[in-house]
Chain A
Amino acid sequence: MLQITNLTTHYFFGGQVTPAARGVTLNLPKGSAMAIVGESGSGKSTVAMSVMRMIRPPIGDIAEGEIRIGGTDVTRATPRQMRELLRTQIGFVPQDPTTALDPLYTIRSQIVEAMPHVERARRDEVIVELLTSLGIVDAAARLKQHPHQFSGGMRQRVAIAIALAKEPQLLIADEPTTALDVTTQIGILRLLDRLRRERHLTTMFITHNIRVARLVCQDVAVMYGGVVVESGPLTVVADNPSHPYTRALLDASSLDVGPRQRLRAISGSPPSLTAMPPGCPFAPRCPSATDLCHQRMPATTRRPDGASYACWNPVTS
């Protein structure tokens, strides 16, 4: 359904060309869900925005690679074709539900925008059904309300409803639960998982929490410094990571930290996009880095269990 091959996306900051994603290759078969995991600035949102062709000059551009959605190569699509694709095939759930809805319009009119294919007389019925399935109580009475009358979790449900109203083939969720409290998070995540199964939605789930990803996804791609450092089936990668960064990320979000124990943070900070080291981007923070790591980017190695990693000195368990 979604195939990204060797994608390189540049941003143009102050006359400088800055690579934000380098050689990203991902494959999401129809009905699958893949988590893109990484820290802020790792390039995960850049990949999502590239898929939707939202990075265009003067902000940036796709420099290389191919993105196929269904049969269409997004990188070669005309703006008109791209708008058609976005209107009918791709649903996007934004990170912050508080600003994703226009305060001036009712919930109904904002959802209707995304469903031109539904005949006029049936629209209300379809919207109520959709909102009810998303767990909004008394949806019919809330259609005429404005966004400020909804709580954060409810707004996120409305945003999901907008994304789903077009009955998309591909759902891209950019940290859809980050702005919500924990109990609401679980609800939204279960919901996304159920919807994917019911509707055979291909889902691209961007998160910085690998444990959150487990609730929704079967596959994972771990990104660091614009590069996919490790990918594969989520359980395989999470239980038996090869890349030191994946290891460190799992440790950092580990739940079995007792009292008076230090949190296992990753020392240092991610490399600046403008000053990327020539070798592995994680090398400056990596405990097992060698001279080779600093000089040359490692190639991708496939493991027999389906995972693959890009590292000179993989973790052995």
Chain B
Amino acid sequence: MTTDLASTTPPAGTPPARPRRRSGRWPWFSGTVMVLFAFCGAFGALVSPHDPNKVDLSQSLKPPVFAGGSTSYLLGTDQLGRDVLSRLLAGAQVSFLVAAGAVLIAGAFGLLIALLAGYLGGRLDTVLTRVADASMAFPVVLLAIVIVAIYGKGVTVVILVLVVAGWPQYARVLRSEVIRIRHQDFVTMARIMGGSRFWAITRHVVPNLIPTLLVLATLQVGLAIIAEGSLSFLGIGVPPPAASWGNMLADGRTFLATAWWLPVVPGVALSITVLAANLLGDWLRHALDPATRR
């Protein structure tokens, strides 16, 4: 991924027609990466050059093509002779599923709890807030071990762990936003104009929560991908031989001195994706706000 910096500065001598707003958010970069990520997640298996799980010890630890390797293994091979590119594509599917699943489910659940606690208030608010606090105080890894002990390993279990660990983040931040928005006059006005409580929530409270929710969700996309990696790294994530970016990193770690591409390739993919997710969220937040839009 290269960035053409020259295209963002107008050529010298010609006066700029109108001053270009420097957003610094690179929507084209983050958009492209996220689309590519989603595409690899959905159709990676179709474009994969090799079977990601095929072991061929005669081809083990081949370097990537740009480090002197052959073109048949573009990103090299691991210690068992499996194609790193194919495994990266297969891992993208796992990472995409985990990130999308965890963020959507935890976000929706957190939003629901935040609306109940923040809008209805009272004793329900106290109970829900305490439950969220208690969940946040519980260590994620311990939680993961417990859940894995009950349900076994797998992608859905990883998503479950991240949802259970992640929803209080949304619930807490969004609850305070709900309370802030609820006391704005336009929500009261909606009720005074004869709108139902449901109308006030869906028409005014939720849309005004979207910017906050977006920023939270895109931050959590990054965290979810990394968390999946951490769980796989600890051996309680996606079970081998299935590839995930996390277990590729974990397995490749021991080869850092001899075959650097094994940890570096999934690491770079992870970093770029997380960065793109965060930039995209930041850009979306500004693009959706009528006051900062153009």
Which chain A positions have C-beta within 8 A of B195? 83
Q: By the criterion CB–CB under 8 Å, are A58 and B194 in contact? A: no
A102 touches B290 (CB 8 A): no
Complex Cα spacing A102 to B210, Å: 14
Query: Is the Cβ of A87 less than 8 Å from the Cβ of B191?
Result: no
Partner among A54, A83, A99 whose Cβ is within 8 Å of the Cβ of B186 = A99
Give the docked Cα–Cα distance between A99 and B184 (Å): 6
Does B207 have its Cβ within 8 Å of any Cβ on chain A?
Answer: yes
Min distance, Cβ A111 to any Cβ of chain B, angstroms: 11
Is A87 a contact partner of B186 (Cβ separation < 8 A)?
Answer: no
- Asked if A101 lies at the interface with its beta carbon under 8 angstroms from chain B, I say yes
A234-B120 Cα distance, complex, nearest whole Å: 42
A148 and B196 contact, CB distance less than 8 A: no
A114 to B191, CA, bound (A): 12
B contact residues around A86 at 8 Å (CB): 192-194
Asked whether A103 is an interface residue with its Cβ less than 8 Å from the other chain, the reply is yes
A114-B185 CB under 8 A given contacts A104-B208, A148-B291: no
Smallest CB separation, B70 vs chain A (Å): 56
Of the candidates B192, B194, B208, B290, the one whose C-beta lies within 8 Å of that of A84 is B194
CB pair A83–B194 under 8 Å, yes or no, is: yes
Closest Cβ of chain B to A149, distance in Å, is 9
Nearest chain A residue, comparing its CB with the CB of B210: A104
* Of B185, B194, B207, B290, the contact of A99 (CB 8 Å cutoff): B185
Complex A-B: 17 CB contacts under 8 Å: A54-B191, A83-B194, A84-B194, A86-B192, A86-B194, A87-B193, A88-B194, A92-B189, A92-B192, A99-B186, A102-B186, A102-B203, A103-B208, A104-B208, A104-B290, A162-B193, A166-B193
6 new A-B contacts at CB < 8 Å, known A92-B189, A146-B290: A58-B122, A83-B195, A100-B189, A103-B208, A148-B290, A159-B189
Collect the chain B residues with CB atoms within 8 Å of residue A129's CB: none
How far apart are A204's CB and chain B's nearest CB, in angstroms? 13
Which residues 150-189 of B sit at the A interface, judged by CB distance below 8 A?
184-186, 188-189
Contact between chains at B193 and A103 (CB < 8 Å): no
List the 5 closest A-B pairs by CB distance, nearest first: A87-B194, A86-B194, A146-B290, A99-B185, A102-B186
Kindly provide the distance from the CB of A141 to the nearest chain B CB, expressed in whole angstroms: 17
Cβ-based interface call for A94 (8 A):
yes
A114 to B186, alpha carbons, bound, how many Å?
13
Say if the beta carbon of A96 comes within 8 Å of chain B. yes
Answer whether residue A52 sits at the interface, using C-beta atoms and an 8 A cutoff: yes
A113 pairs with B207, CB closer than 8 A: no
Cβ-defined contact, A52 with B192, below 8 A: yes
- Chain A, interface residues (CB within 8 Å), range: 20 to 34
Within 119-166 of B, Cβ neighbours of A (below 8 Å) are at 122
Q: Is A276 positioned at the interface, with any CB of B under 8 Å from its CB?
A: no
Contacts of A114 in B (CB 8 A): 193
Interface centre among A88, A103, A114, A159 (most CB of B within 10 A): A103
Does A139 belong to the interface (CB within 8 Å)? Answer: no
A212 adjacent to chain B (CB < 8 Å): no
Residues of B within 8 Å of A58, CB to CB, are 122
Q: Which chain B positions have C-beta within 8 A of A90?
A: 192
Tell me the complex Cα distance, A249–B115, Å: 44
A85 CB within 8 Å of chain B: yes
- Asked whether B285 is an interface residue with its Cβ less than 8 Å from the other chain, the reply is no
**Interface pair A113/B193, CB less than 8 Å apart:** yes
Interface: B204 (CB within 8 A)? yes
Most buried by A among B194, B203, B204: B194
Q: Which residues of A contact B204 (CB under 8 A)?
A: 102
Task: For A145, give the chain B residue with the smallest CB separation.
Answer: B290
Selected contact of B189 from candidates A82, A94, A166, CB within 8 Å: A94
How far, in angstroms, from A312 to B181 measured CA to CA in the complex? 47
CA distance A165 to B291 in the complex (A): 26
Q: Which residue of B lies closest to A165 (CB)?
A: B193
Closest to B204 in A: A102
A100 contacts B193, CB within 8 Å? no
Q: Evaluate whether A146 and B186 lie within 8 angstroms (CB atoms) in the complex, with A54-B191, A83-B194, A87-B194 already known.
A: no
User: In the complex, A146→B207 CA distance in Å?
Assistant: 15
Q: How far is the CA of A205 from the CA of B1 in the complex (A)?
A: 64
Taking CB as reference atom, which chain B residue is nearest A114? B193
Provide the residues of chain B in CB contact with A92, threshold 8 Å: 189, 192-193
Q: A54 with B192: in contact, given A100-B185, A100-B186, A102-B208 (CB under 8 Å)? A: yes
* Chain B: CB-nearest residue to A83: B194
Contact yes or no, A83 B196, CB < 8 A = yes
Which of A92, A100, A102, A148 is packed against the most chain B CB atoms within 10 Å? A102
Binary per-residue interface labels of chain A (136-162) against chain B in the complex, 1 for a CB within 8 Å, 0 otherwise: 000000000010100000000001001
Convert A93-124 into 0s and 1s, putting 1 for each residue whose CB lies closer than 8 angstroms to a CB of B.
Answer: 01010011111100000000110000000000
Residues of B within 8 A of A96 (CB): 185
* Across-interface contacts of B184 in A (CB, < 8 A): 99
Instruction: Determine the distance from Cα of A249 to Cα of B175 in the docked complex, in whole angstroms.
Output: 43
Q: Across the interface, do B291 and A146 meet the contact criterion of CB distance under 8 Å?
A: yes
Q: Per-residue CB proximity of B46-74 to A under 8 Å, as 1/0?
A: 00000000000000000000000000000
Mark out the residues of chain A between 195 and 254 whose CB falls within 8 Å of any chain B CB in the assembled complex.
none
**A58 CA to B186 CA in the complex, in Å?**
21
Q: How far is the CA of A85 from the CA of B191 in the complex (A)?
A: 12
Instruction: Give complex CA distance A58, B122 in Å.
Output: 9
B residues near A166, Cβ cutoff 8 Å: 193
Does A103 contact B291, Cβ atoms closer than 8 Å?
yes
B192 to chain A: which residues have CB within 8 Å? Answer: 52, 54, 86, 90, 92
Instruction: State A87–B196 Cα separation when bound (angstroms).
Output: 11
